[in-house]
Amino acid sequence: MSNIVDPLVGQIAARVRTERERRRWTLAQLADASGVSQAMISRIERGESSPTAVVLGKLSAAFQLSVASLLALAEGTPDEAGGEAVDGAGVRRRSEAAEWRDPATGYRRRQITSPRFPAEIAEILLPAGARVPYPAAAFAFVRQVVWVLDGRLTFHDGDTVHELEAGDTIELGDPIDRIFVNDTGTHCRYAVILTRGTRP
108 and 168 belong to one structural domain: yes
Q: Are 51 and 6 in contact (CB under 8 A)?
A: no
116 and 145 belong to one structural domain: yes
CATH number for 40: 1.10.260.40
Structural domain count of the chain: 2
Greater pLDDT, 194 or 129: 129
**Residue-level pLDDT at 193:** 93
Judge if pTM exceeds 0.75.
Answer: yes
**Residue-level pLDDT at 128:** 97
Q: How far is CA 189 from CA 7, 81, 179, 200, in A?
A: 22, 28, 15, 31
Has residue 84 been placed in a domain? no
pLDDT digits (tens, 9 = 90+) for 113-141: 877 778 889 999 999 999 999 888 888 77
Q: SS3 breakdown of the chain: % helix, strand, coil, rounded to 5?
A: 30, 30, 45
pLDDT digits (tens, 9 = 90+) for 6-64: 567 788 888 899 999 999 999 999 999 999 999 999 999 998 888 888 898 899 889 98
107 and 182 belong to one structural domain: yes
**Residue-level pLDDT at 90:** 76
Q: At what angle do helices 9-22 and 67-75 cross, to 10 degrees?
A: 110
Has residue 83 been placed in a domain? no
Has residue 2 been placed in a domain? no
**Residue-level pLDDT at 49:** 87
User: Which range of residues forms the domain containing residue 28?
Assistant: 9-75
Among 43, 75, 107, residue at a domain's last position:
75
Among 46, 75, 104, residue at a domain's last position:
75
- For residues 144 and 148, give the distance between their C-alpha atoms in angstroms, rounded to a whole number: 13
129 and 71 belong to one structural domain: no
57 and 20 belong to one structural domain: yes
63 and 106 belong to one structural domain: no
43 and 101 belong to one structural domain: no
